[in-house]
Amino acid sequence: MIETGAPWSLTTEPDMYLIDIDDHDALPGGQTRASLRARVLLGVLVDAEAARLQLEPTRAQLAETTRWFRAQFDMRQRADVEDFLAFAGLDLRELSAQMRTFSNISEVGAARDGDVARLLPRYRGIQRVGDWHDQRLVGGEGPR
């Protein structure tokens, strides 16, 4: 096994996936620490890229992102938002910062759309590794 120092490890052991995630490492919302860290990393990188590209979400964009977020979780009243923040141990400043990151994801995504479109076939292909592996097992070939 190759240790990376991250909350996941790369492995070359037989019958193991390339990224071995501890199933007992679940967090609320059905995530693992590794998936949550990947989301945080996306936010860090997107915020840095937005700054590099000098993209700054407008008040209107931030308001739309906030409306979208609230609608996803039926937060119709300000009291709903305040109740959620108390439940999550967050404050309005932290929520606003996250809405900025969500807006940056949209803006950077639009700015890098050509790169994403160019790389989609590769990522779609890589995502098929599970199907390929399952097909080998069903076909009786098994791992080599």
Amino acid letter for position 84:
F
Contact 101, 41 (CB under 8 A): no
The secondary structure of residue 15, as a DSSP letter, is T
Q: What's the pTM value of the predicted model, to 2 decimals?
A: 0.72
Residue 21 maps to a domain: yes
pLDDT at 17 over 70: no
Query: What Å distances lie between residue 23 and 9, 35, 42, 48, CA to CA?
Result: 13, 12, 22, 31
The pLDDT tens digits of the residues spanning 65-82 come to 999 999 999 999 999 999
Domains in the chain: how many in total? 1
Of 43 and 138, the structure prediction assigns the larger pLDDT to 43
pLDDT at res. 18? 45
Q: Which domain holds residue 19?
A: 1-52
Residue 115 lies in a domain: no
Asked, for residue 23, whether it belongs to a domain, the answer is yes
In percent, the amount of the chain with pLDDT more than 70 equals 76
Q: Is residue 143 in a domain?
A: no
Q: Which two tokens stand for residue 125?
A: 């292909």
* 18 within a domain of the structure (yes/no): yes
Determine what percent of the chain is predicted with pLDDT higher than 90. Answer: 63
Q: Is 108 exposed, middle or buried (0-12, 13-18, 19+ CB in 10 A)?
A: buried
- Mean residue pLDDT of the chain comes to 84
**Residue 83 counted as domain residue:** no
Structure confidence at residue 93 (pLDDT): 97
Q: Report the C-alpha gap between 42 and 14 in whole angstroms.
A: 30
